[in-house]
Amino acid sequence: MNIKMHSIRFDADQKLISFIDTKVKKLPTVYDDILGAEVFLRLDKDTAERENKLVEIKLDVKGQTVFAKKQCKTFEEATDLSIDALKKQLVKRKSKIRKK
């Protein structure tokens, strides 16, 4: 699976990139037909108290695109929530395919 990462308005450190890469690479255990992934990391307005870290993950799945977007205080937390949302979508898609 090809994973592209884009950090917008900042430079992501290697630790964050490897964390996200590890999480995304586990998704094929839920659903086999994932062709690629694109991850966008964004910083909203720079305020210390707000949840200004935004993670968007777009999966290219055979015949469709699956998308999740979460905003939290840390990129790691937003990544975990996005991955959970994607897993739910993939499981739902898998069950629909099996019913056909």
Determine the Cα–Cα distance for residues 39 and 24; give it in Å rounded to an integer. Answer: 9
Higher pLDDT, 68 or 1: 68
- Report the chain's mean pLDDT, rounded to a whole number: 92
CATH topology of domain 2-99: Double Stranded RNA Binding Domain (3.30.160)
Average pLDDT over residues 59-80: 94
Determine the Cα–Cα distance for residues 55 and 76; give it in Å rounded to an integer. Answer: 9
Closest CA to 65 of 91, 42, 38, 99: 38
Determine the Cα–Cα distance for residues 91 and 20; give it in Å rounded to an integer. Answer: 20
Sign for the pseudo-dihedral over CA of 50, 74, 90, 7: positive
